[in-house]
C-alpha cells in the first residue's frame, strides 16, 4: 500500500464507473478498543461483496481523504482514507490507517468478488 495519490485514485474511480462491481466497505475500532481503554465504545461494520454500480464518483480532501460514489438510488461514502494499492489496475483498494498503522476504514471495488 502507498499513501494515496488523489489523481491516481480518481482515474481508477472513473475507470470503474457504470459497471457492475463488488464492494467491500468497512469501518472498525477493533474488538479490543474497550479492553485497552474503557472510555472507548467499540463499533464496527462491514459489508462484503454486495453488488453496486455507480454513475459518478470522486475523491476529495487533503488527506486523510473522502470518497463518494453516486448510485441510482443512493451513495457510498467513506472518510479517513490514507492508503491505496498502487499495483492494482482493475480494482480499487483503499484503506485508512491510524497513527499506529491499524486499519480503521476500507473501501474496495472490483469487477470480481473479493
Partner 1 sequence: MMEQRILVVLPHPDDEAFGLSGTLAMHIHNGAQVTYACLTLGEMGRNMGIPPFATRVTLPAIRKMELESSCQAIGIQDLRLLGFHDKMIEFEDQNVLDTRIGELLKELNPSLVVTFYPGYSVHPDHDACGAAVIRTVGKLPASERPVVHCLAFSRDHEQAIGKPDVHYDVRAFLKQKVASIESHRSQFQAAELLGKNELSQQELEARFGTERFWTYRYPS
Residues that bind partner 1 (CB under 8 A): 1, 24, 26, 28, 30-32, 35, 38, 46, 83, 85, 91, 93, 95, 97, 100-104, 106, 108, 114
Task: Give dist(CA 95, CA 108) in Å, integer.
Answer: 8
Q: Shortest gap between Cβ of 96 and partner 1 (angstroms)?
A: 10
Task: Give dist(CA 22, CA 99) in Å, integer.
Answer: 29
Nearer to partner 1, 8 or 70 (CB): 8
Q: Looking at the chain, how many residues does it have?
A: 114
Nearer to partner 1, 3 or 18 (CB): 3
Nearer to partner 1, 12 or 108 (CB): 108
Task: Give dist(CA 32, CA 57) in Å, integer.
Answer: 34
- C-alpha cell, 52: 453496486
Task: Give dist(CA 19, CA 48) in Å, integer.
Answer: 17
Q: Shortest gap between Cβ of 78 and partner 1 (angstroms)?
A: 13
Phi, psi of 7, rounded to the nearest 5 degrees? -65, -45
Q: Shortest gap between Cβ of 114 and partner 1 (angstroms)?
A: 7
Nearer to partner 1, 46 or 77 (CB): 46
Amino acid at each position: 500500500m502507498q499513501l494515496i495519490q488523489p489523481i491516481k485514485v480518481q482515474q481508477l474511480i472513473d475507470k470503474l464507473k457504470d459497471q457492475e462491481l463488488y464492494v467491500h466497505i468497512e469501518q472498525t475500532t477493533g474488538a479490543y478498543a474497550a479492553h485497552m481503554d474503557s472510555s472507548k465504545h467499540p463499533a464496527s461494520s462491514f459489508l462484503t461483496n454486495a453488488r453496486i454500480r455507480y454513475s459518478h464518483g470522486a475523491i476529495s480532501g487533503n488527506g486523510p481523504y473522502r470518497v463518494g460514489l453516486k448510485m441510482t438510488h443512493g451513495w457510498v461514502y467513506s472518510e479517513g482514507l490514507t492508503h491505496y494499492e498502487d499495483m492494482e489496475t482493475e480494482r480499487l483498494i483503499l484503506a485508512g490507517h491510524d497513527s499506529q498503522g491499524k486499519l480503521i476504514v476500507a473501501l474496495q471495488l472490483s469487477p470480481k468478488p473479493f
